[in-house]
Amino acid sequence: METEVVSAPETGVRVVYLGPVSPHWEIQGLFGQQSIVDEFRRRTVARLQLLPPHDPQFRRNRERVSRDAERENVHLEWDLGVPE
């Protein structure tokens, strides 16, 4: 039986919904290497740029962003402006 060791994230980001007028999203680096934050920001903005949270495509792309964060070992927070 193999045991996978999960280390604590070395980088953290927060995805903030800015409102109904584009750009809808801001990706803020919380901690960690700026180069990792910048690369994650680039990929995240590409997925969310024109999508407000009520758009059906947003849910699928949010899952993709979450999987990307898991794969890169990035702590991810969402601030959609409303309690989830």
Q: What is the pLDDT of residues 45-75, one digit of tens each?
A: 999 988 889 899 999 999 999 999 999 999 9
Q: What is the pLDDT of residues 12-33, one digit of tens each?
A: 999 999 988 878 899 999 999 9
CA distances from residue 58 to 30, 34, 73 in whole angstroms, order as listed: 23, 26, 22
At 81 the pLDDT is 85
**By three-state DSSP, how is residue 33 classified?**
coil
At 67 the pLDDT is 97
Higher pLDDT, 56 or 82: 56
